[in-house]
Structure 1
C-alpha cells in the first residue's frame, strides 16, 4: 500500500496508514511500524542505552497492540512518543544498569544537538547513560524533544513540580559528568 505522496506531510502519511491499519490492513500496519521505527529508536537510545533493542521492540509491540485505541490518527506521532517513553523507562528500570554521574561543570544538553545522521554524539550518549532513568527521560523530552514541563509531566505521569526538580538535578548531573 503506497499512500505516500510527494506533497503529504509525515503526520498525514502516518494518519492514512493508521486508518488503514485500524481497519485491518496488515500491509499498512507493517508500513506504519517501518515508518516509525527510526523515531522510536531515536527516543529509546538515550533513555535505555543498555537495552536499546529491547526498548525498541517493547515500544513497537505496544504501538502494534494499542493502535486500535488511538482516536485521532493525526496525533499518531505524539501518541507514539508517549508509548515509547513509557516503555523505554520501564525497560531501563528493569535492567537497572546505572552508574552515578560524577562532579564538575560545563554544558547543557539542550546545546548539544544530534549530528547530521540524527544520532547524538557518543560522548553525550555516554554521559546520558550514567544518569538515572528518570533524569534521562526528562532531559530527552525537555531538551531534545522540546516539550515544556507540563507536557513532560503529563507524559511521565508525575506532577509538574517533580519534573522541574528532576530536570534541575538532571541538568546539574549532566554538567558535572560532562566536565569530567
Structure 2
C-alpha cells in the first residue's frame, strides 16, 4: 500500500506473520536481521552472528505472543540483548582466555584499537555500554531489557566506562 506509513507496514507484516504468512515472515526477517545483527555484534563479539541467529529464531518462535505490533523493535531488542549475553557467556566458558595475546601495558596498539578494549569487557558491561551509549536508552529501559535493577545498570555502566577508560589510556 503506497500511502501506508512504515509503522503501519511493519504492523501489517507482524500480524500477517503471526497468522503464518510465510511471505510476511520472510519480509519481516529481511527487516529485522540487520537490526538484530547491530545489537548482537558489540555484545557477543566474534559470536555476534550466532547470537543474531539465535535471537531471530527466538523472535519467530515467540512472534505470536507479541500483543502490540508497534512494540516490535523494543521486543526484538530485548530478545537480541538476552541472546547476545547468553552466547557471549557460553563462548567464554568454552574458549580459555589467551592472555599472552593481549598487548602489554603501554603498547601503542592498545590505545589505537577500540575493539580490543571492548573484547576484554564482560558481556554484561558490553551490553550496558551498547544500550546506553550506542542505543541511547535510559537506565530504566536498559535495566528492563537486561532483567536487572536500575542501580545495577548504573554500577555496571560506571565500571564498564571506568574499565574502558583505564584500558584506553594505558
In the superposition, the TM-score normalised over structure 2's length comes to 0.85
Displacement of 1:74 in angstroms is 0.7
Determine the structure 2 residue equivalent to 1:36.
32
Determine the structure 1 residue equivalent to 2:128.
138
Displacement of 1:174 in angstroms is 1.2
2:156 to 160, 166, 176: 166
1:175 to 162, 165, 168: 165
Query: Alignment length, in residue pairs?
Result: 159
Please state which structure has a larger fraction of its residues in helix: 2
Residue deviations 1:22-77, cap 9 Å, x none? 11101101110111111000011100002012101101100110100000001100
Contact 1:48 1:133 in 2 (8 A): yes
Taking the aligned partners of 1:161 and 1:174, their CA distance within structure 2 comes to 20
Q: Which runs of 5+ in 2 are unaligned?
A: 107-111
Contact 1:51 1:91 in 2 (8 A): yes
Residue deviations 1:90-125, cap 9 Å, x none? 000100156899989xxxxxxxxxxxxxxxxx9333
- 3-state DSSP of counterpart to 2:45: coil
In the superposition, the TM-score normalised over structure 1's length comes to 0.80
Determine the structure 1 residue equivalent to 2:41.
45
Q: 1:13 to 1:176 in 2, by over 3 A?
A: farther
Taking the aligned partners of 1:34 and 1:8, their CA distance within structure 2 comes to 18
Displacement of 1:85 in angstroms is 0.3
1:85 to 76, 81, 88: 81
2:15 to 13, 19, 22: 19
Displacement of 1:132 in angstroms is 0.6
Q: Which has the larger radius of gyration?
A: 2
Determine the structure 2 residue equivalent to 1:8.
5
Root mean square deviation of aligned Cα: 2.3
Determine the structure 2 residue equivalent to 1:125.
115
Displacement of 1:129 in angstroms is 1.5
